[in-house]
Amino acid sequence: MVDAKPADIAYGDISQLEELIDRDSLREVCRSFFDLFGLSIRVFSARGVLLASVHEERTICRYVNSLTRGRVACSETVAQAQMLVPQGSGTVVHPCFSGAVYHVVPIRYDDRQLGRIIIGPFLPADVNEVPNSLLTLDPNLEPERARLALAEMPRVREQTANRIASHLNGVLELILFSGHKAQLTSAMHLATVRENYRELGEKNARLQEAFDKLKELDRLKSNFLATVSHELRTPLTSIIGYSEMLEAGIAGELTSEQAGFVETIRSKGELLLQLISSLLDLNKLERGQLTISPEFIDPRAVLAEVRETCLPEAEKRRIKVELAWNDDIPLVQADPVRLRQILTNLTSNAIKFTADHGQVRLAIRATELRVATAEDDPDDDPADASVGAALMMAPERAVEFAVEDNGIGIANDELDKIFDAFYQVDGSSTREYGGAGLGLSIAKSLVQAHHGQIRVESEVGRGTTFFVTIPETQPDEA
């Protein structure tokens, strides 16, 4: 089961500045402000992460840093400026002992403070003297040198500094906006994907549930079918046996009317028995419980027997059933009972779906078969094997049976459905042909159990031919 968390779209939430902003673009912006106004700029996130820094060490700074006390005082001043967090939306001015100042400008977006910009150091325009705090900083400081160095510091009017800060803030706001937009888009995309994934998970779980239920139902159906069929078969065998005894006159001579009734009881009983056997076979095949016992047999003998079995029905309807083969027919390794079952099924269908006075032809020929080997995909259905795959396989000597009729034929779009269990082309309750739609499905499974192939060619109104190809030898299962 996939846990079904609700989609969490955090698009209202603005996260850290460092996540919203592209650092390269930010550095570019700071660089262009530096080039334009000559002021050092540093940008910090609310958590104090330095995101961009463009600055130049001033002559006075370099000089102060070369003095022991100066160095200490300088780093303290810079550290304090960097740690200063403006509380409101206004700029905070942080003074340096040199008379210069730093402007600490808050970065605000959507009513939240996301960080700060430090501009400076620069000299306010109104500072003209070297302040005492600088002159008394270090005993080794040379006042004249300090004065000259300080003169190189950029001078900016308070107003100008504020304007520069507000421009910079405006540009930053634009970058933040586009970053926020991108974040929103990706958050929404993520949420959609997550929602789709969750839906898919739910559907999958429902599908699995339905599949499990179906499997259970299938198992119950199989058990039910096996029990019912078995329970029906025993009394039915008695019914058939007793009708045969009655027909044989064991219980006394029957009038012709009585004989007719008994004959109906027997033949309907036999039909029912056939149906029950088919159901049992299908059940066994579906559960993989049906095994074949192959032996070397003469295919001609099998086909001749099939003809004999089907002949009475054909003769009733004046349908000719002819046999056709050459002398070169080899023995095949097959289960004689099951092979007879396959061919009887096809032949009785051929007779059933052919008009009176029609023709059925039962033929055999030696051929070759390309069968999937054990290394091939076990899911591959040899009967449906694609031509491309079949060409890759080594050919095997085989025998092909063809059951051909000139009956009603089968429409093209029905050809691959007729092998499904219970499928009949005309499935209506008023259909004129008997049967339960199980014969071909069983025949196909039995052919597959022989590692063979079954296929059909047909034309509506002209007739149908079923081809069954069985390899001469069965692979050694051991």
Q: In the complex, which residues of this chain contact ligand ADP (CB under 6 A)? A: 349-350, 353, 405, 407-408, 410, 418, 423-425, 435-441, 464
In the bound state with ligand ADP, the residue whose beta carbon lies nearer, of 34 and 423, is 423
Q: What is the DSSP letter of 38?
A: -
Q: How would you list the strands of the sheet with 453-459, edge to edge?
A: 320-325, 359-370, 395-405, 463-471, 453-459
Q: Which residues pair with 203 in a beta bridge?
A: none
Secondary structure class of 40 (helix, strand, coil): coil
Using alpha carbons, list the distances in angstroms from residue 218 to 211, 275, 404, 427, 465. 10, 20, 36, 23, 33
Q: How far is the CB of 407 from ligand ADP (least distance, A)?
A: 5
Q: How far is the CB of 279 from ligand ADP (least distance, A)?
A: 12
In the bound state with ligand ADP, the residue whose beta carbon lies nearer, of 156 and 314, is 314
CA 68 to chain centre: 71
Residue closest to ligand ADP, measured at CB: 435
In the bound state with ligand ADP, the residue whose beta carbon lies nearer, of 108 and 352, is 352
User: Among 457, 446, 451, which residue's Cα sits nearest to residue 477?
Assistant: 451
User: Among 460, 366, 470, 347, which residue's Cα sits nearest to residue 404?
Assistant: 347
Q: How far is the CB of 408 from ligand ADP (least distance, A)?
A: 5
CA–CA gap between residue 298 and residue 334 (Å, rounded)? 10
In the bound state with ligand ADP, the residue whose beta carbon lies nearer, of 138 and 404, is 404
In the bound state with ligand ADP, the residue whose beta carbon lies nearer, of 314 and 350, is 350
Q: How far is the CB of 411 from ligand ADP (least distance, A)?
A: 10
CA–CA gap between residue 154 and residue 160 (Å, rounded)? 12
Q: How far is the CB of 285 from ligand ADP (least distance, A)?
A: 13
Q: How far is the CB of 273 from ligand ADP (least distance, A)?
A: 15
**DSSP string spanning 340-389?**
HHHHHHHHHHHHHTS-TT-EEEEEEEEEEEE---TTS-TT--GGG--HHH
In the bound state with ligand ADP, the residue whose beta carbon lies nearer, of 122 and 353, is 353
Q: How far is the CB of 427 from ligand ADP (least distance, A)?
A: 8
- Tokens of residue 365, six digits: 């020929």
In the bound state with ligand ADP, the residue whose beta carbon lies nearer, of 303 and 350, is 350
Q: Which residues pair with 53 in a beta bridge?
A: 42
In the bound state with ligand ADP, the residue whose beta carbon lies nearer, of 201 and 437, is 437
CA–CA gap between residue 183 and residue 197 (Å, rounded)? 21
Q: How far is the CB of 419 from ligand ADP (least distance, A)?
A: 7
In the bound state with ligand ADP, the residue whose beta carbon lies nearer, of 63 and 353, is 353
- Asked if residue 61 lies in contact with residue 74, where contact means CB atoms within 8 angstroms, the answer is yes
In the bound state with ligand ADP, the residue whose beta carbon lies nearer, of 331 and 402, is 402
Sign of CA dihedral 395, 400, 406, 412: negative
Q: Check whether the bond before 330 is cis (ω within 30° of 0).
A: no
Q: How far is the CB of 425 from ligand ADP (least distance, A)?
A: 3
CA–CA gap between residue 274 and residue 286 (Å, rounded)? 18
CA 336 to chain centre: 44
In the bound state with ligand ADP, the residue whose beta carbon lies nearer, of 349 and 453, is 349
Using alpha carbons, list the distances in angstroms from residue 5 to 81, 202, 293. 46, 11, 56
- Return all residues near 74 (Cβ < 8 A) that are at least 6 apart: 61, 64, 65
